[in-house]
Structure 1
Amino acid sequence: MSGVDFSTASPDQIAAVEPAEFVRIVRRMSDKQVDQVMASPNRGLIIEAIFRRMPGLFRPDRARGVTATTHWSITGRPEGGTDDWTVRLADGTCTCTPGHDGEPTVSLTMAPVDFTKVVTRRGNPTMMFMTGRIKATGDLALARRIAGFFEIPKP
């Protein structure tokens, strides 16, 4: 599927976008365009689609021996508040559920633009943390490593 406009796409169209195509589309978007999409009614669908795909992109060989509960908060909801997700890594698996569940090993808070940069590897999470664009509490060593546990498709 080429040329999907995430701000007006249907739930079925968003669900049909393969991970590599998603990365290609988002990497071509300016920060302003990402902000506009994340202010659209499709924001929740897009964030959900990202988290629902994470288990399929998880590389257990890169996370050997890691057991962690991570809380993700994506700020800037149009009506206020955050989109919250829990990502658990244990026994070579990754699971993602909406909301914050359990005691976190690390909590990550970021704006939508920074979130899309992290999940598409368009940005450097360590630099984003050092400049205050990503807030992390808990196991900061894990926070630095977490993006590497996933195989981000080449666009």
Structure 2
Amino acid sequence: MADDVRDRLAGLDFAGITPAEFAGIVKGLSARQITEFATGELRSRVLGEIFGRMGEQFRPEAAGELRALIRWRITGESEVVYETVIADGRCTVTEGRSAADARLTLVMGDAAFLKLVSGNGNPVTMFLTRKIVAGGDLTLAAGLHRYFDIPAA
């Protein structure tokens, strides 16, 4: 079964999938299935597409005057780090860790990350059950979902 899921996902053109379609795909997967397919080139493609779209999903009107560097540490077969900078009504994303101090650092596994960004996971529950570990500005963490168009799963 894991090979079927992996083969089906590997054949997808993630650039052509809408956030709502992606949310539907993730909704149909268990955390175990996500962990099994989130390896190698497929994992890189999925994470790259998600972070590549964050700027498009950003809601500047909701962010107002917010200025923050958010560091995302996605654990799994290896740790991948992305940073989002929200400032001046824009959201920019870079891969890798900068020397700057993050206002908020979020650490989570692949399954928790995909559930979170696809609207399939409750961020408060995920934080309380330690599926997401947050360091820094917890008020920012609590309101982070307001700054992005996250599909309803």
For normalisation by structure 2, the TM-score amounts to 0.88
Structure 1 residue 91 corresponds to structure 2 residue 94: no
Shift of 1:139: 0.6
Residue 39 of structure 1 deviates from its aligned partner by 2.7
How many residues are aligned here?
147
2:120 match: secondary structure: coil
Q: Structure 2 residue aligned with 1:110, among 101, 105, 108? A: 108
Contact kept in structure 1, 2:119 and 2:152, CA below 8 Å: no
Q: How many Å separate the matches in 1 of 2:105 and 2:139?
A: 12
1:130 aligned to which of 128, 131, 148 = 128
Gaps of 5+ in 2: none
Larger displacement relative to structure 2 (28-37 or 58-67): 28-37
**Stretches (4+) displaced over 6 A:** none
Maintained 8 Å contact 1:44/1:83: no
Cα deviation for residue 18 of structure 1 reads: 2.1
- Gaps of at least 5 residues in structure 1 are none
Cα distance between partner residues in 1 of 2:47 and 2:67: 24
Amino acid of the structure 2 residue aligned with 1:131? T
**8 Å contact from structure 2 (residues 66, 87) kept in 1:** yes
Q: 2:150 aligns with which of 131, 146, 152?
A: 152
2: CA distance, partners of 1:126 / 1:153? 17
Q: TM-score, normalised by structure 1?
A: 0.87
The structure with more helix, counted as a fraction of residues: 2
Query: What amino acid maps onto 2:8 in structure 1?
Result: D
